[in-house]
Amino acid sequence: MGRDIPDNETWWYNPSIVVHPHWREFDQVPDAVYYGLGIFIGICGIIGCGGNGIVIYLFTKTKSLQTPANMFIINLAFSDFTFSLVNGFPLMTISCFLKKWVFGHAACKVYGFIGGIFGLMSIMTMAMISIDRYNVIGRPMAASKHMSHRRAFIMIIFVWLWSVLWAIGPIFGWGAYTLEGVLCNCSFDYITRDYATRSNIICMYVFAFCFPIIIILFCYFNIVMSVSNHEKEMAAMAKRLNAKELRKAQAGASAEMKLAKISIVIVTQFLLSWSPYAIVALLAQFGPLEWVTPYAAQLPVMFAKASAIHNPMIYSVSHPKFREAISNTFPWILTCCTFDEKETEDDRDAEAEIPASEQTQETSPTDAAQVKEMMAMMQKMQAQQAQQQAAYPPQGYPPQGYPPPPQGYPPQGYPPQGAYPPQGYPPPQGAPPQAAPPEGVDNQAYQA
């Protein structure tokens, strides 16, 4: 930038806020880039607010969706809704069309603070979702004991406190919120290399980004292992149960596996959206600073802000119960994706087998259905074992000729030839025969 041009005529000049000297080293960004960014972020903001607003409305109005696991989805949708509303349209959109931030220094801090809170809240909510999925799939017998509405609410409170803890530091001087990229939006100051800023960036990277990712990877690795073992067990059980009974036994687990797959997709897109931003921040602190150009800094911002529109799209396409709720409330939304009632048949079967008295306020229908199905499977196996014991020994057992007679048995000549038993044996019924008197003794005197 030529030194003969007054500051108030440069592209980076902003009388309402101090611009970091790093951005003054680059040439002006073309107008088309500003307008393109404004249109893009405006679309993302409108879709993010509308889509996440529908998710919140349906999950709060549809009773079948009000489970402990879905409380995390509501929190995620609320986070994305607020992120889209504040950090997308209209603040950044207006600034892009005016080619500068026009809301002042205080608004810049609030903008960055809200973006920090709800960006960190999204990834920490992902970690809570992965923990819930791990408890349900990796530890199914204890799932209903480990998750309830109260426990889910406590975990959400922890997510909020965790996010505020790491986002509030720059407000009190541990780091800062400042303009970045094309200077139309504010975020964490990752350019300054003093001790306070560097320690803030490192701590946030380790505890607010890497720590939740480690939890997510650990939980989903164990989920994959549990699914692999589950498939082996079901293959063995299929040999003992008929197809109808096997399908009922898998109903609850099938619904949970679908939700786990959806969660994995959400986590993957989240990491793809936010990892470039984390890489740019580390590069600015420890790499060649000249590599962090306005374009290199602004592109990851667009990926990160677009992440708020992915979650409602994923759920509208992949979540059977959510699609059912949309088809009943907003049928025009799913004109491209026809709803199939068979998708929720397993869930209905699992929930229908549970008496109302067994469903308490602390146990969701989904968790209770899983426990019920597992108990039914165990009872079926016990009944089969009892039938096997009752039918023992089986008909035709022992086989003819078993056990084989010992060699030389019976002895030759047995039974004896001739009339056997001899005549007069056994003796006739009645009084035993009297012995004959000795010779010379009168018979009557002998008997007397």
Q: Let me know if residue 315 belongs to a domain.
A: yes
User: Which one has a higher pLDDT value, 270 or 251?
Assistant: 270
Query: Is 159's pLDDT higher than 80?
Result: yes
Query: Is 198's pLDDT higher than 90?
Result: yes
> What total of structural domains would you count in the chain?
1
The pTM of this model reads 0.71
User: Which one has a higher pLDDT value, 98 or 311?
Assistant: 98
Where do we find the tokens 């879905």?
70
User: Which one has a higher pLDDT value, 288 or 349?
Assistant: 288
Q: Let me know if residue 168 belongs to a domain.
A: yes
Q: Let me know if residue 353 belongs to a domain.
A: yes
φ/ψ of residue 296, rounded to 5: -65, -30
Angle formed at CA 39 by CA 37 and CA 41, multiple of 5 degrees: 65
Over 408-427, what HEC string results? CCCCCCCCCCCCCCCCCCCC
Percent of the chain with pLDDT over 90: 37
Kindly state the average pLDDT of the residues 284-306.
92
Query: Is 287's pLDDT higher than 50?
Result: yes
Distant-in-sequence contacts of 435-438, Cβ < 8 A, 24+ apart: none
User: Which one has a higher pLDDT value, 3 or 10?
Assistant: 10
Residue pLDDT, tens place only, 6-32: 666 678 888 888 899 999 899 888 999
In which band, very low, low, confident or very high, does the pLDDT at 361 lie, cut at 50, 70 and 90?
very low
Looking at residue 250, what is its pLDDT? 59
Round the average pLDDT of the chain to a whole number and report it. 77
Q: Let me know if residue 266 belongs to a domain.
A: yes
Q: Let me know if residue 115 belongs to a domain.
A: yes
Domain holding 356, by residue range, is 18-383
Percent of the chain with pLDDT over 70: 63
Query: Is 199's pLDDT higher than 90?
Result: yes
Q: Let me know if residue 222 belongs to a domain.
A: yes
What distance in Å separates the CA atoms of residue 38 and residue 36, rounded to the nearest whole number? 5
Kindly state the average pLDDT of the residues 155-184.
94
Q: Let me know if residue 11 belongs to a domain.
A: no
Helices and strands (H, E) in the chain, number of each type = 16, 2
Looking at residue 387, what is its pLDDT? 65
CATH of the domain at 351: 1.20.1070.10
